[in-house]
Each structure stands twice: as structure tokens, then as C-alpha cells.
Structure 1
Amino acid sequence: MLVLGAGCSETGLPVLEPTTSAGASGTADAGGNAGSVKPSTLSQARQQLGSLEIKTIPGRDSSYERDAFGDSWSDAATGVQFGRNGCDTRNDILRRDAVPGTIRTKTGTSGCKVTAGAWVSEYNGARYTNKSKIQIDHIVPLSRAWASGAKRWSAARRLAFANDPDNLLAVDGSSNQSKSDKGPSAWRPPKQYQCAYAVRYVRAVSKYDLPITKSDKSALTGMLDGCRT
């Protein structure tokens, strides 16, 4: 189940406790309780969705610059779950989302460098033991955040967003490539994983005060309606 709690970050943004599961990604197994959330979590997601600004967002913004979000998987982001722990963000998320007890790390790296493990992708329910098959997805794509207003953020805020565990998930590379920079109205995982995806998406855009489109709101509402409590 997804379990959320709120705090406050060094940048003034709310910090939400990580989700917990067989990994930490909300998927117990390939079909277990993937669509289940606590009633309070579902209520919070619906409330957050209802308060989001509705705005027309261009599908592609020609001014988008990936480099404007800082170095890929930087450890420099502050005020987030793993900020400045000496490990890069990719390895932080690989450890967080792995099936418990499966992670192995390279000696001499303070437990940072993940060398092996098992992951259940929340985008297709399949289990993977080949790390090269796992990618770290930005649930709210960086290019979509840019077009939604992140282009006007400070560099520090963009860096925090790009490395924020609340907007990151270890998933299979094929699903991640299919999702690309699409929003909820253009892409969604299989039905049994839509609840967790919708809760995470709403949580991220709400945390950073990003608007969504009318069609995205409709898609997210439908996915939340499919949640089990």
C-alpha cells in the first residue's frame, strides 16, 4: 500500500515519506496489492487533484533544456529523502525500490554502488534481476514539468525536482521508453498499476504546484476511481 506523510524540506517544499512495499514502490508482487491504497491516501490524492490548476500545456516546448535540471542523478539536491548522502540518485532509487534482501553493493563505496538485486516494475508487474533492464523514471517527465512552468524556476528548484525520490521510480526500461515524456492522458500502465501511478503523479505535481491539463485531470480521476482501499 502507499503510505504518505508530510514534513518540510530545506527548500520550503513539503517532504512526503517514501512509499512501502515489497520494494518500496507500492507493488507487492506481479499482481498482488498493486491497486490498493489506504483510504486516507486516496482521499488525499483526490483532494490534491481537485486543487490543481487546470491549464493548457504544450505537448512539446522547443525551449526545453535537460541540462537546466542539473547533472543527471546528482547528489547535490537538498531537502529530499536521500539528499547529500554521498550516493548518486540512481543508486539511491535502485536500493529503495528493490525487493528486500536482494540488493548487493560494491565494496568500498559505502553501500552506494548497486551491483545486483531484484526489482518488480510498477509499470508492468514483471520481476527483473538484470540491473541493466531497470531505468529510473521521472513520473512527471522533466520536459512536461518544464512546459508546465519549471522553465521559470530557479536552478536549485529544478535540481531538487529532477532528483526528488517522490517523483522517481525504478521501472523496466521498455515501459519507461514507451512512457517517454507523455502525461496521464497519453500514457498509463496496465490497469492494476494505474492506482499507484495516479497517486504518485498527483502527489508530485501538487508538491511542486504544477498545473495539469483538463484531459490529464480526467485520466487521473478515472485511475483514482479504480483504486481499492
Structure 2
Amino acid sequence: MSGVSTQQRPLRRTALVVAVVLVLAAAGCGPTASGAGLGPSGSPNAVALAQLAKLTVRAPGSMAGYRRDRYGPAWADVDHNGCDTRDDVLARDLTAVRRDSDGCTVLSGSLHDPYTGRTIAFRRGARTSTAVQIDHLVPLANAWRTGARGWSADKRKRLANDPANLVAVDGPANESKGDQDASTWLPPNVGYRCRYVAGQVRVKANYGLWVTPAEHDAIARILHGCGAGSDPGGPDPSGPDPSAPDPSAPGTGVPSSGATSAAPTVHPGSWCGTPDARGRTAGGTAMVCTGPAGERPRWRTAN
């Protein structure tokens, strides 16, 4: 006859069941590991889609009154750490960072550029610093025409310096983007597009900005193409999105080698990257990228 009492047997059976469940979970057989308990709504791109669904969709507002300084001085030290925002982002996104003796100024480093997939050696200098630029995921001019025009100066300054809206990228790619949204420009690195548009959605959701119909549809198409198991927070493991615009297609800002792209849709007065480049407004007015010598060019009406 066993020496174990009838009261002890249920306790041992319970302990055995718990042990078996833990072993199965460690082996990847539990409901969470298999995905059975997660469901489509738990995937990261589904979260971005849910945020997108809550954004207001409306036509772009006026660019009247827009200037870069309406967002405060460029690269203000908003976190009061003694370093300006540009150096904070460079230090965050570059590797092998070397700083000046002031403890802030980034003198050199290496960037694995998310927009192109290239590795860029950064070296601070009058002729070299522009190789790596800090991009606003949601461009400031885009924010202006999708809600920021009516903000307080302090809120605009926070957006302009928010690390969640900033990323160090290839300079020419940043200039080709200008102030375009996802309907007319996407990073040529297809594997980064999920993360790119998901970041834009998060920023717009956090600040209460709206999206245009074309912007909404482009972002939704990309996120739906990411796959239920992919992560918009990193490169898309499913590979190129067949439904996403080709980076060499007209309007993406990255023309293919030897090809002549159709004029992109641009916004009068917004920054542009390549002097003498041509574009058109949504209403069909011919525009040219130009400006006084020594100043950053803008889209202006072509003569």
C-alpha cells in the first residue's frame, strides 16, 4: 500500500501538469509560441494598420505661412542634455562614433543607411557632412498641410526634434524625398518600407495629424503587403512587396539609371534636392527646383 495520502496525490498531479506545460512552451509548442493565441490583430503591422484606421483622412491643407523656422531653430536641444538634436541622432544611428572634446559633436562614424541599404562613412566637414542627413519621417511641410499649421509653436518644435520622427540617412536620398509623402516617395530599399510607413503612422497618430486619401491608400497597401508575421519595426523578411510602388517608377524621387522619370507632384515653396529639377503641382502647374545662390532650393513656378 502506497505511503502517499489521497490529499497529496492531486498536488503531485497538478505539479506534473505544470511541468509538462512549461516544457512544451519552452519547445515552442505552447499556444503563444505557435501563434494560436495571438491572432492577426497581434501582429506589429496590424497595430500600425489599426493606428492608420483611426487617422482622419482629408485633403491637404494650405501651405500659406509655412517656413522652417515656424518649427523653431533647427536642431534645438529639447532634451537639455547639452547636445543638439542632430548630434543626438547621429550618435544614436551611427556606429564607431567619434566625438569632439565637447562630448557632443559627432566627428565621424559609419551609417548603415536604411533608405538605400548602403554603408556610408560619415566625416564632419563643410564638404562631407551632407553625405549623412537627418530626415523627418513625416516632413515638416507635410505636417504643416496635415494639421500642424494650427498648432502652438511649442508643439511644432517638439515634432521637429522628436527622435521618433528622426532618422540618419543617405543625403541624396533625403534630398530626393523632399516633403513628399508615401504616395509619391518611398525608400529605394524595399525591405525598409514597412518600418518607414509604420513610423510615419505612429508619428501622425501621436501628434493628431491627418493623412490625405492618396497617402492613406499607399500606406495601407504597403502594410497589408508586409505579411501577418512581419515586423514593421525592422526589415521586411518577406522580401519585396509586389504591390508597393517601384522605387524607379515616376514620382518616387529615385529614377532608374538611364531612365527619364515623369515629373513628380510637388508643393510650391517646399524644399527640393536637385537644382533645375522639374515637377508639377497637383493642379498641373509646372515647377522648377531653384533658389538664390548659397541657399537651399525650393519648388517655384517655372517661367
Specify the TM-score bucket, using the shorter chain as the normaliser: 0.7 to 0.9
How do residues 55-134 of structure 1 correspond to structure 2 at under 5 angstroms?
55-58=58-61, 61-75=63-77, 77=78, 83-99=79-95, 102-107=96-101, 109=102, 111-131=103-123, 132=129, 133-134=131-132
* Partner Cα separation in structure 2 for residue 148 and residue 199 of structure 1: 17
* Partner Cα separation in structure 2 for residue 46 and residue 90 of structure 1: 30
Q: Deviations over 1:52-89 (max 9, x none)?
A: 0001005x7132121110000001x3xxxxx1111100
Q: How much does 1:93 deviate?
A: 0.3
Match of 1:29 in 2: none
Match of 2:139 in 1: 141
* Partner Cα separation in structure 2 for residue 226 and residue 158 of structure 1: 32
Task: State which of 177, 182, 207 in structure 2 corresponds to 1:179.
Answer: 177
Question: How many aligned positions are there?
Answer: 180
How do residues 142-157 of structure 1 correspond to structure 2 at under 5 angstroms?
142-157=140-155
Q: Deviations over 1:120-173 (max 9, x none)?
A: 111111000124210000110101111112111111111101000010010001
**Are the aligned partners of 2:147 and 2:208 in contact in 1 as well (CA < 8 Å)?**
no
* Partner Cα separation in structure 1 for residue 122 and residue 163 of structure 2: 22
Residue type matched to 2:59 in 1? Answer: T
* Partner Cα separation in structure 2 for residue 194 and residue 152 of structure 1: 30
Residue type matched to 1:210 in 2? Answer: L
* Partner Cα separation in structure 1 for residue 198 and residue 54 of structure 2: 14
Q: Over aligned residue pairs, what C-alpha RMSD do you find?
A: 1.3
- Runs of 4+ in structure 1 deviating by more than 4 angstroms, as ranges, are none
Q: How much does 1:40 deviate?
A: 4.2
Question: Could you state the TM-score of these two structures normalised by the residue count of structure 2?
Answer: 0.57
* Partner Cα separation in structure 1 for residue 64 and residue 184 of structure 2: 19
Q: How much does 1:98 deviate?
A: 1.1
Match of 1:201 in 2: 200
Q: Deviations over 1:25-72 (max 9, x none)?
A: xxxxxxxxxxxxxx64322211101110001005x7132121110000
**Structure 1 unmatched ranges of 5 or more:** 1-38, 78-82
Match of 1:162 in 2: 160
**Are the aligned partners of 2:115 and 2:169 in contact in 1 as well (CA < 8 Å)?**
yes
Task: State which of 37, 50, 54 in structure 1 corresponds to 2:53.
Answer: 50
Match of 1:192 in 2: 191
Q: Deviations over 1:100-127 (max 9, x none)?
A: xx111111x1x21111100011111100
Match of 2:244 in 1: none
Question: Could you state the TM-score of these two structures normalised by the residue count of structure 1?
Answer: 0.75
Q: Deviations over 1:173-225 (max 9, x none)?
A: 11000100001101011221111101111111111010001111111112112
How do residues 17-56 of structure 1 correspond to structure 2 at under 5 angstroms?
40-56=43-59
| Greater relative CO (CA pairs within 8 A, separation 6+) | 1
Residue type matched to 2:65 in 1? Answer: S
Identity across the alignment (%): 41
* Partner Cα separation in structure 2 for residue 184 and residue 136 of structure 1: 18
Residue type matched to 1:67 in 2? Answer: D
User: What is the DSSP-based 3-state SS (H/G/I as helix, E as strand, rest coil) of the residue aligned with 1:103?
Assistant: strand
